[in-house]
Amino acid sequence: PFQVVGGKVKKPGKRGRKPAKIDLKAKLERSRQSARECRARKKLRYQYLEELVSSRERAICALREELEMYKQWCMAMDQGKIPSEIKALLTGEEQGKAQQNSIKLAKAGKTEANSGNP
């Protein structure tokens, strides 16, 4: 009844894992459900990637438009013309600096006034 193989005693009968007692229909249904979930995850992943691609494409288009605008500005400046947008930027910066200086002066005046009081 017992066999000795390689120094080990083996019992007669079935070898390996016992077959699961799960009926075939339940197993098939689990497999189908798993496949449905997998397809749903795949669909979501593709949607996410498509949104990512379209947002990057929009960003590229915006950057190309900006680059074209800068090229036109440079060509205008090469011809000795200053584009109105650059003039607006420069005057805006000057106005901003003047406002910052006046704010600094106002703050300095307040601190001097406060420090003068005993």
Q: Per-10-residue mean pLDDT for the chain, 118 residues long?
A: 61 61 85 97 98 98 95 91 84 73 69 53
User: What pLDDT score does 85 carry?
Assistant: 85
Please, are residues 86 and 73 in contact by the beta-carbon 8 Å criterion?
Answer: yes
Angle, CA of 113, 116 and 118, to the nearest 5°: 125
Domain boundaries along the sequence of the chain? 24-91
